[in-house]
Amino acid sequence: MNAKSAVHAPWVDKGKHASPIDKDQLLASISIAAVLADILPAGQVKKHEYHHLCPFHDDQRLGNASTNIDTGFGKCLSCGKGWDLFSLTQQVVNSVSSFDEALTYLNTRYGSGTTLDHRRTEQRSSAKEDGLVPVLPIPDDAPTPPLAQYHLGRPTRQWIYRDLDGRHLGYVCRFDRPRKRKEFMPLTLWRDQHGTMAWHWKHWPEPRPLYGLERLAQTDQQGVEPQTVVIVEGEKTADAVRDLLDDQAYCVMTWPGGSNAVSKADFRPLANRHCCIIPDNDAAGFKAALTVVKTLAGMAASLHTIPPPVDKASGWDLADAKAEGWTGEQALAYLNGPRLTAEEFARWLQGATTNSDPSPDQTANHDQPSPSDSGDGEEPISQDAPTIPADSERPIVSPDNC
Ligand SMILES: [Zn+2]
């Protein structure tokens, strides 16, 4: 749905009171909770109130503003502003600037053709728990994805995930805030029980897609044989290796969610492929690589790991190599250098953890995250950070919690 098309619907321009849409009928026909979850994502339903950041002032945390999911009336305890669903829509949706446009927007997007009284539906839990199903791939009539996440602001980078046919599956977004650790969140499309599609800051259902699937298929079609799949940690590193190599004999891929989320990804498209894993140069990276190795063992046509160069800092990866000025020739030489089989990598790993960190399971040193330093398994990704900040700086929002 293109929001701008609603603005140009013929009845909008006929005058102030020309809208044929009855406001009360519309409110009775739509799920106000679903509308709120869509236009103000990352809120929470508590009883009959949807708690969200106030769009009328620079609100930084939940707790000030809420909107009733039965009536659409809301208020902000901080700035004192009050609203109904229509004035709220005018404030939040860029293309809507009048009451009639809000009516048209809401009717076209959430209300047209429906005769169900969604308003009477029980909405005790948040929308995300009410039978959301993923919409994959993203259809042409999907709503426009939000430009910002309510806690984290606008992403500084985003990566598009696609399936083998190149169809859009969703995004992973990166957020960099002043004096805060960088954070990553997936943005995916879901349909609720009323058929309404909305973007949510949550992961794909497991098993999750790999990043770079479309390139796997593209190079197949071009008949480049045999193709080696290079698996790195993180989308930024994958992009950096693609830039460095510019070589169709390699297909560079990663999995979503960072070092602790390997087991949640779907590696089956790599069956019968020649696979080469390049870990980040730290314990978390090695552990992730080992999990990839175990996942692909017996499935890949061949399976190797390339350890980081010995002189590199903790956390080093090929994005750092690119930043250091590596040329494509250097990257190719590194890729064609010593490779470890699964058994050799397991032995090398024992030596690496013994040498760099004598007690990896007991360490409290966050500069050298140990394999056991896995948090809740959904890591705040750190693929280009040489150090890991203290637990107090861990993100307030993790992808699976929003
Ligand atoms: Zn306010």
How many A from CA of 187 to the centre of ligand 1? Answer: 26
Residue 385 CB burial class (10 angstroms; 0-12, 13-18, ≥19): middle
At 159-210, the pLDDT tens digits run 999 999 999 999 999 999 888 888 899 999 999 888 899 999 999 999 999 9
Supply the pTM of this predicted model. 0.59
- 312 vs 128: CA distance, rounded Å: 43
How many A from CA of 80 to the centre of ligand 1? Answer: 6
- Asked whether residue 219 carries a pLDDT value surpassing 70, the answer given is no
Average pLDDT of the residues in 256-265: 94
Residue 358 CB burial class (10 angstroms; 0-12, 13-18, ≥19): exposed
How many A from CA of 53 to the centre of ligand 1? Answer: 8
For the chain, domains (ranges, CATH) are 3-130 (3.90.580.10), 134-200 (no CATH), 213-401 (3.40.1360.10)
Task: Determine the pLDDT at residue 128.
Answer: 42
How many A from CA of 54 to the centre of ligand 1? Answer: 4
- Among 246-260, 285-299, 348-362, 383-397, name the most confident range: 285-299
How many A from CA of 24 to the centre of ligand 1? Answer: 26
Query: Collapsing DSSP states into helix, strand and coil, what is residue 119?
Result: helix
The CA distances from residue 149 to 109, 130, 397, in Å, are: 21, 21, 10
- 85 vs 27: CA distance, rounded Å: 9
Axis-axis angle for helices 235-245, 328-335 (nearest 10): 110
How many A from CA of 55 to the centre of ligand 1? Answer: 7
How many A from CA of 75 to the centre of ligand 1? Answer: 8
How many A from CA of 48 to the centre of ligand 1? Answer: 19
Distance of CA 55 to the CA centre of its chain: 23
How many A from CA of 65 to the centre of ligand 1? Answer: 6
How many A from CA of 149 to the centre of ligand 1? Answer: 17
Average pLDDT score, the chain: 78
For ion ligand 1, residues whose CB falls within 5 Å: 54, 56-57, 76, 78-79
- 135 vs 133: CA distance, rounded Å: 6
Average pLDDT of the residues in 217-232: 74
Give me the long-range contacts of 135-141 (CB less than 8 A, separation at least 24).
135/189, 135/190, 135/191, 135/197, 136/163, 136/169, 136/170, 136/189, 136/204, 137/162, 137/163, 137/167, 137/168, 137/169, 138/167, 138/168, 138/169, 138/170, 138/189, 139/197, 141/1, 141/197
Comparing CA positions, the residue from 245, 242, 246, 248 lying closest to residue 224 is 248
- Asked whether residue 73 carries a pLDDT value surpassing 90, the answer given is yes
DSSP state of 65: E
The stretches of 65-211 forming alpha helices (DSSP H) are 85-92, 99-106
DSSP state of 130: S
Residue with the bigger pLDDT between 71 and 119: it is 71
How many A from CA of 154 to the centre of ligand 1? Answer: 20
∠ CA 126-132-138, nearest 5°, is 130
Task: Determine the pLDDT at residue 395.
Answer: 34
How many A from CA of 66 to the centre of ligand 1? Answer: 10
At 334-344, the pLDDT tens digits run 999 999 999 99
Task: Determine the pLDDT at residue 133.
Answer: 92
Comparing CA positions, the residue from 198, 190, 135 lying closest to residue 167 is 135
How many A from CA of 358 to the centre of ligand 1? Answer: 52
How many A from CA of 47 to the centre of ligand 1? Answer: 21
Task: Determine the pLDDT at residue 388.
Answer: 29
How many A from CA of 148 to the centre of ligand 1? Answer: 18
How many A from CA of 27 to the centre of ligand 1? Answer: 23
Buried b (16+ CB within 10 A) or exposed e, 118-150: bbeeebeebbbebebeebbebeeebbebbeebb
- Among 176-180, 346-350, 352-356, name the most confident range: 346-350
- 58 vs 224: CA distance, rounded Å: 53
> Do 199 and 145 contact (CB within 8 A), yes or no?
yes
How many A from CA of 231 to the centre of ligand 1? Answer: 46
- Asked whether residue 109 carries a pLDDT value surpassing 90, the answer given is no
Average pLDDT of the residues in 332-357: 83
How many A from CA of 108 to the centre of ligand 1? Answer: 28
Per-residue confidence band for 152, with pLDDT thresholds at 50, 70 and 90: confident
Task: Determine the pLDDT at residue 114.
Answer: 39
- 334 vs 322: CA distance, rounded Å: 13
How many A from CA of 23 to the centre of ligand 1? Answer: 25
How many A from CA of 266 to the centre of ligand 1? Answer: 43
Query: Collapsing DSSP states into helix, strand and coil, what is residue 349?
Result: helix
- 9 vs 4: CA distance, rounded Å: 9
